[in-house]
């Protein structure tokens, strides 16, 4: 991948980060947490795929990373449910 490709990906990550910060200032109600989780997952996918070069590795490594992402979201959801965040 060329340097321009990495700069493009960095700009996309910066835009997603700006959206995450903007969600704090905009009242999204019940969509606040799901929107942050979706943006987090997209950023995780981009960083792992391009900056860690997982896109070009064996599918087993991809499975391990994406399973870790899924488990992290599940654990975070359980943590929030434990403290009655959703009620």
pLDDT tens-digit readout, 75-84? 988 887 888 7
Average pLDDT, the chain: 85
Among 40-44, 52-56, 66-70, which range has the highest average pLDDT?
Answer: 40-44
Is the pLDDT score of 59 beyond 90?
no
Looking at residues 49-78, what average pLDDT do you find?
A: 82
Q: Domain range spanning residue 29?
A: 3-82
22 in a structural domain: yes
Task: Tell me the DSSP string of the chain.
Answer: --HHHHHHHHHHHHHHHHHHHHHHHS--GGGHHHHHHHHHHHHHHHIIIIIS-GGGS-HHHHHHHHHHHHHHHHHHHHHHHHTTTT-
Total number of domains in the chain: 1
87 in a structural domain: no
Q: How far apart are CA 17 and CA 74, in angstroms?
A: 22
pLDDT at 86: 58
């Amino acid at each position: 991948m060329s340097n321009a490709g990495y700069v493009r990906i960095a700009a996309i990550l910066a835009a997603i980060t700006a959206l995450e910060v903007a969600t704090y200032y905009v009242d999204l109600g019940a969509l606040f947490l799901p929107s942050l989780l979706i943006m987090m997952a997209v950023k995780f996918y981009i960083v792992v795929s391009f900056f860690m070069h997982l896109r070009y590795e064996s599918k087993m490594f991809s499975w391990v990373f994406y399973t870790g992402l899924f488990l992290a979201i599940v654990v975070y959801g359980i943590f929030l449910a434990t403290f009655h965040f959703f009620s």
